Amino acid sequence: MLKVGNYEFSSRLLLGTGKFPDFDIQKEAVKVSGTEILTFAVRRMNIFDPDQPNFLEKLDAENFTLLPNTAGAKTAEEAVRIAKLAKASGLCDMIKVEVIGDFKTLLPDPLETLRASEMLLEEGFTVLPYASDDVILAQKLEELGVHAIMPGASPIGSGLGIINPLNISLIIEQANIPVIVDAGIGSPADAAAAMELGADGVLLNSAVSGADDPVKMAQAMKLAIEAGRLGYEAGRIPKKRYASASSPLEGMSI
């Protein structure tokens, strides 16, 4: 069970909803992924296009917990405004705090992320900050009272996987709240690796929506996250420099 604030989930995969080729593929990918949490962004409606679809309706969003993000925010104040807009939908009180500090790397601004998280906690949100993989920042966010920490594996959409597994594992080791590895996951192996490090969940988007076959990749991610979690719970063998025979050395007939 993944417990975030007052919410409980049996799936440990959080799926983004951006950049899918079309609604049919997206719906099928969401279904086979087994996810219970979908992320969204908040943007202006096109007031001159009366034919635009209702995105939430297209995805049957009422069957999921919605995790809107504050993407586009460069300051804590902007993030708080976006979070409040999202909450005014009446559909959710969870927020993925995302305050970008640099638009080339899309790396999160740690100071503004911390400040936004504090402000949103005061407003009563369930707060999940997307943060850099900084161990001390993770401590400070937990001290504030955030409901989960979401360190990035590598830059958003890069598909580079976990660049600093040591930091991610230190963040996991010290945390008393869920750690959800967010951003940069490229392949099922990356997702499994995050889970084997002991992550409580993985949030990914482009790895599925940008795959040649998003539906198949959604299933692969589901299985990878389950396999990684089982492997973590089972406890892997230590790594050694030399061999240990798995067949008995006694009783050989030659």
Partner 1 sequence: MKLIVNGASLDIDQARTIEELLVELKLAGKGAIVELNQEILDKSQHAETRLANGDKVEIVHFVGGG
Q: Which is nearer to partner 1, 23 or 136 (CB)?
A: 23
Return all residues near 184 (Cβ < 8 A) that are at least 6 apart. Answer: 152, 153, 154, 155, 156, 157, 158, 159, 160, 161, 162, 163, 190
DSSP class of residue 156 equals T
Q: Residue 249 has which token pair?
A: 């050395």
Q: How far apart are CB 231 and partner 1 at their closest, in Å?
A: 26
Q: Is 6 annotated as a binding residue?
A: no
Q: Does 211 bind partner 1 (CB under 8 A)?
A: no
The pair of three-digit structure tokens given for residue 80, joined into one six-digit string:
């708080």
Q: Which of 13, 29, 32, 71 binds partner 1 (CB under 8 A)?
A: 71
Q: In terms of CB distance, is 4 or 207 closer to partner 1?
A: 207
Instruction: Determine, following the binding rule CB under 8 A, whether residue 194 of this chain makes contact with partner 1.
Output: no
Query: According to the annotation, is 184 in a ligand binding site?
Result: yes
Query: In whole angstroms, what is the distance from residue 177 CA to residue 200 CA?
Result: 9
Active site residue 140: no
d(CA 162, CA 181): 9
Task: Give the CA distances from residue 123 to residues 118, 126, 149, in Å, rounded to whole numbers and listed in that order.
Answer: 9, 9, 18
27 or 140: whose CB is closer to partner 1? 27
**Counting contacts by CB under 8 A, is residue 88 touching partner 1?**
yes
Kindly list the catalytic residues: 96
Residues making contact with partner 1 (CB under 8 A) = 16-20, 26, 39-45, 47, 50, 52-57, 61, 66, 68-69, 71, 81, 84-86, 88-90, 156-157, 183, 203-206
